[in-house]
Structure 1
Amino acid sequence: MSAARIPVIGIIGGIGSGKTAVAEALGKLISVRRLDADVAGHQVLLDEKVKDALKKAFGDSIFDEQGEIVRSDLAKLVFGNQKTQQVARAKLEEIVHPEIRKILENQLKEIQYQRDCDVIILDAALMLEAGWSEVCDAIVYLDVPEAVRLQRVQQRGWSEQEFRKREASQLSLSEKQNRAEITISNATDLQSTANQLANWIKQNHSYEAMHH
């Protein structure tokens, strides 16, 4: 087994900083496989074991008539600054993070085995909070002014209050930025952000760069 492995780059930023859009634009410039923790997060909520644990923790109110979890009801319980929400969030994370991690690690193994890309991008809102940054070779922070981020999430139908509650539920932006190896602005031009990121990866972290 050769020691060579495809590098994993984590993308972090505030809510509405465009992590997914940047990962997609990057994929047009270099060969990228994206690990999406949100998708994995939706998957685990369909898992019977997880549903049982959440029912024990939060009762029936977060389930619909079909016995599926209503994510918006769950979100109301766990996002925000109130003590009850913080406690509920810790409980939720204790149940779902290990399961999400299993999915991500399996996907990672699969991609490393296939070796059909230059870089793997990990797109996870709670990357640092959940300790997933340890699977990354480097972390990129997307810097976007709050007004721009708020506008973006309002276009997705969020209220300003929802935005503030979720932001308050995450690590502070300065803490996120401190943990990153590089900060790239994604305030205006997505293409330019993707170009900068692609160049930085090619120079520092691409599978190719490490083997020539």
Structure 2
Amino acid sequence: MVIGITGPAGSGKSTVSKLIKKILNNKVCIIDVDRVGHEVLALFLIKKKLREVFGEKIFDNEGNISRVKLGNIVFSDKEKLEILNQTVHPAIFKKTREILKKSLKKSDIIILDAALLHKIGLDKLCDKIILVESTKQKRIERLIDKRGVPKEKAEKIVNSQNLENLGYYDFKIYNEEDINKLYKEVAKIVQKFQGGVFE
């Protein structure tokens, strides 16, 4: 079974993924699609395409794409963010699908942790989808406190995703309060999954 966990930045997708893994006694493989995105940015053809669009200013001294520099550009400009997405999403989909195929040979349950699950097209690979939501302010706080993102950039990231269509989902979790309440909500959803894979 493939479970998609989606939601905007700072909503708590990774925490929900880890809780599912804990509840199911580690019988779960988590694929962090954001990390796959990091790997895709190192591909020669992707670097070539992004150099043509954004120029040399997004590269560091070693010739690698700086996510900080790139983020500062795209999170302030929706058109440039869309260009970036159109360039990298097909590669992210392809690489994630490859990882998923290998993972299914080792694990019965795979979690795809992805903010842009539907936009990348990864929803097509999922059996069930969980949407994680939180207030705008809470998401900004988490980006600052847990990821060390500067306040101004955290606000830009959250605002850039504010109107995103997060697409179809089977279950929704509102992650605003403490970890114990979140754990109980996740446990209830795990029990609802069909197929008997958790028995």
Q: C-alpha separation between the residues in 2 aligned to 1:63 and 1:113?
A: 37
1:76 is matched by which residue type in structure 2? Answer: N
Q: Does 1:139 align with 2:135?
A: no
Q: Residue 17 of structure 1: CA displacement?
A: 1.1
Bigger Rg, structure 1 or 2 = 1
Counterpart of 1:27 in 2: which secondary structure?
helix
The aligned counterpart of 1:103 is 95
| Aligned-residue RMSD, C-alpha | 2.2
Structure 1 gap segments, 5+ residues each = 1-6
Cα distance change, pair 76–160 in 1 and its aligned pair in 2 (3 A):
same
The aligned counterpart of 2:12 is 18
Counting only pairs closer than 5 Å after superposition, residues 51-200 of structure 1 correspond to structure 2 as: 51-80=47-76, 85-114=77-106, 116-117=107-108, 119-155=109-145, 156-170=147-161, 172=163, 175-176=165-166, 179-200=168-189
Counterpart of 2:141 in 1: which secondary structure?
helix
1:29 is matched by which residue type in structure 2? Answer: I
Q: C-alpha separation between the residues in 1 aligned to 2:187 and 2:195?
A: 9
Q: Residue 206 of structure 1: CA displacement?
A: 5.6
Structure 2 gap segments, 5+ residues each = none
| Runs of 4+ residues deviating >4 angstroms | none
Q: C-alpha separation between the residues in 2 aligned to 1:72 and 1:78?
A: 10
Q: Using structure 2 for the length normalisation, give the TM-score.
A: 0.86
The 8 Å contact of residues 92 and 120 in structure 2, kept in 1 or not, is answered as no
Counterpart of 1:125 in 2: which secondary structure?
coil
Q: Residue 104 of structure 1: CA displacement?
A: 0.5
- Report sequence identity in percent: 31
Q: Using structure 1 for the length normalisation, give the TM-score.
A: 0.82
